[in-house]
Structure 1
Amino acid sequence: MHNPFDFGTPEAHPLEPTLDLAQANQVLQASLSKLADEPDLEKFLGHLLTVCSDHFMAIEAGIWRYENGLFRLFVSYEDGEIKHGEAIGHPGASLGVARKIQNQHVLARLRKREIISDYPEDFATQPVYEHFRDYFRRRGIQAALKIPLFLGDDLRGILVMRFRHRRVFKPEEAELAFSLANQAVLALELTRLAAVAQTAAIMEERNRLARDIHDTLAQTFTSILMRLQAAALTLDEGGNGARANIDRACDLAREGLANTRRSVQALRPPALMGRSLAMALADCLQQMTEGTLLASEFRLEGQPVPLADDTELELFRMAQEAITNSCKHAQARTISVQLTYQPDCLHLIVEDDGVGFTLAESTALKGFGLVSMQQRAERIGGNLTICSDHNQGTQVCVVLSISRSQPYGDAV
């Protein structure tokens, strides 16, 4: 059994930092400000793990969720990067591994609100580490710290930090770790509530669509069927009146087609509702720079062509993210957005004259939506490139083959 605040002797790590009250308050205040300002709670958790790793000199840090009797790694800080899902190197992110973890002993201690510290001898003998030993050996991990995440009396997960050295973990550092853990559990709960609200909204929208389909399309097609059946009967009786019934069925079919198109149009994202992609981009740029000292310019070149709704939305969201980054981080004087349609491809460029960054600093952009932008580009078969340098501004460019993004015809 180890002292939860002891990571070895001071001699094991002579450059042990000290954390005074002012430093702790500064860290907590910065983290709370991030929680208040960051709408993406997963990004906040990534920021929190970065803070933990930096201040406690951990090689890795992770937030594990505890749901349905399973601990599973939700977000991880590894090698200077925030990772989610399949990108996480630690095997604990796998649902298959999570189901195999023997966590009864650890769970009992965590429920007592204990901080648990483990070392190589624990990794080698405790069942909870059975599926992690090879990973720990490869990474040279010499210590691990587990801090329980409680919401009221409910255990919601753990904040885990892993180290390549044995070190003294001071009581004041434990207090800071507990405080950061409380922020983490708050973010986890907000994430869960957001997911619940989204599910409820989706169900409500599905019910609305079901009612709309029943009240319009189903009734229309029932009327068409009745008219065609009447036409069939009149044909059997000599054909008198068949033409009128067929003409009426055609009229009803046209009405049904128009209603279907209106229903599909109603599903278009609010960001593009009733507007072309160019109009939505121009409005977004104006809204985000209005009332600021930033000068903005939107340019449309070429003849716009219709794109699939999901393609237009992904392009809009990428531009929106790039504009947001320029406004918040670039310290720019001007921002421009250019949408160019060529015969076989589309170019979307967001450019600023801000402070820029170097490729060596690109890891820092992980928190600025770079991963999300890359994923959006991949989903629509586009190519995303980002060019920047110190004091040279930043250019975000998306190139998309138009042939890949055409709507699937005009069936509805």
Structure 2
Amino acid sequence: MARALVLVMDSFGIGSADDAERYGDAGADTLGHIAAACAAGRAGENEHRTGPLRLPVLTSLGLGAAAQAATGTLPPGLEGGVAEGLWGYAAETSKGKDTPSGHWEIAGYPVPFDWGYFPKEVPCFPPKLITAIVKEAGLAGVLGQRHASGTEIIAELGAESIETGKPIFYTSTDSVLQIAAHEEAFGLERLLSLCEIARRHVDHLNIGRVIARPFVGDAASGFTRTANRRDYAVPPPADTLLDVAERAGRGIITIGKIGDIFAHRGTGEVVKGPSNDALIDRTLEAMGRLPDGGLLFANYVDFDTLYGHRRDIPGYAGALEQFDMRLPQILSRLAEDDLLIITADHGCDPSWTGTDHTREFVPVLARLGKRTGPIGRRDSFADMAASVAEHLRLDWQGAGKSFL
């Protein structure tokens, strides 16, 4: 029986969506702006890479063609015909540009409601919320309480957090409460327990995620976030592809933060890793034990957290090229009747203002035997769920239209 793999390149948008202006993102183009900067020598040179953007494997799967279809412009460096695969692009119908909305829609549940958000004020969190969390967790207080870049606020307040024992609370334009604390001085398990408490207290505000952001280091040497991040998300309000596959008794392996995004519902064997490279290693290992009829769902987060949010164009370009170099290992392990989909959940244009996600189209690159050609514009990410369900012969009653 056939298998299916869905690989999410976190934040890899390919051009501003039709409704991008509503989100302040008209003109954003993660891939296009990275490629243009590299071609023009404006991306700089660092340990990650140098010169024009080179993505030969993704290009052969249709990335350049998909980007050109989405924006009308072929990104420099992605010239060349589509040698293999089905290619197109998809628009998000969910009402956000956040991680849960994008992933839920890929899995067949477009988010029809508005998430709760914290205002761009200082403090940004309701006093009653902080008071309740502080009391239940037995804290001396909290630091931050504003919209901020995670790395910047930890650099600013990390030493004070260690000295006072107060964790750092911050948010972004996403529906999220992030809590950072020193993994040793505050304690990792204590931080995770604090996030579980906070999760309960933000439920009535319809906040999508509470994220634990442990860090290590000191003021002299600097602070570094660790790989022990944990997301506490609300579960999808309706069935997703994962639920349907689980009820059908299919083998499910989820890689990276997929388990957290779906509140560990229907996520089967959950495998994590500290980096894109490590997660690709785990993907290759998982392919060896994914049974017939099974589903593998992976997220590669470095594009977003290390480069998109930090507005690091050379770093993002280098991560794309490293991913491209490793793709042949995945492709070589596919059986003839396996379906592979490579996509993204939103954009995070490193040339854009601010540090937040950008509302963009995403690529839909599929490999299924020797089939090749355009699948056009998909009006919902959910078309990927419908396609996987058809391929795996699952009884799918959710959103989306199959492109197979």
Normalised-by-shorter TM-score class: under 0.3
Higher percent of residues as helix: 1
Q: Which has the higher contact order (CA 8 A, sep 6+)?
A: 2
**Between Structure 1 and Structure 2, whose CA radius of gyration is higher?**
1
TM-score by length of 2: 0.23
